Amino acid sequence: MDVRKTGLLILGLFLFSGLVWGNGYHTAVTDTASLGQATGGITKLESSSTAQDLPAAMTFLESGIHVMGGVLVASPQFTFKGEDGKDSTKIDPAEGIFVSVVKNFGNTAIGISQGFPFNNGLDWGEDFVGRRVISKVDLSIGNTSPVFAYRFGKISFGAGVDIYEGNVNLQRVALTINKDNEVRTELGGTGKGTGFNASFFLNDDQFSFGIQHHSPFTLHAGDAVSRFDTSDELAVQFSSTFPDGGVSADLLLPSVTRFGFSVKNKAKDPDYLLELTITRTGWSNYRELKFDFKKPVAGSKTSVSPKNWHDTTSSAISGNYVFSRKGNNNMRVRAGMFSEPSPIPKDTLDGVTPDTTRLGYAVGFGMKRNRIMFDLAYLTENFPEGSSTLEELPGKYSGHAQVFSASVGYHW
Give the pLDDT band (50/70/90) at residue 330.
very high
- Specify the range with the lowest mean pLDDT, choosing from 18-27, 154-163, 229-238, 241-250: 18-27
Cα 22 from Cα 100, distance rounded (Å): 25
Q: What percent of the chain has pLDDT over 90?
A: 38
β-bridge mates for residue 364, sequence order = 334, 377
Q: What is the pLDDT of residues 177-227, one digit of tens each?
A: 887 788 888 877 788 889 999 999 999 999 999 999 999 888 787 777 878
Q: Which CATH superfamily is domain 3-411 in?
A: Outer membrane protein transport protein (OMPP1/FadL/TodX) (2.40.160.60)
Between the two ends of the chain, the Cα-to-Cα distance in Å is 68
SS3 for 286-326 is: CCEEEEEEEEEECCEEEEEEECCCCCEEEEEEEEEEEEEEE
What is the torsion angle, in degrees rounded to the nearest 10, for the CA atoms of residue 69, residue 117, residue 214 and residue 338?
-100
- The answer on pLDDT for 406 being more than 90 is yes
Q: Is the Cβ–Cβ distance between 309 and 286 less than 8 Å?
A: yes
pLDDT computed for residue 23 by the predictor: 52
- Per domain, the residue ranges of the chain are 3-411
Q: What is the pLDDT of residues 97-127, one digit of tens each?
A: 889 999 999 899 999 998 776 666 788 888 8
Give the pLDDT band (50/70/90) at residue 26.
low
- The answer on pLDDT for 377 being more than 60 is yes
- The answer on pLDDT for 17 being more than 70 is no
Q: What is the mean pLDDT of residues 128-156?
A: 87
pTM of the entire structure? 0.85
Looking at mean pLDDT, say which of 10-14, 61-65, 172-176, 296-300 comes out highest: 61-65
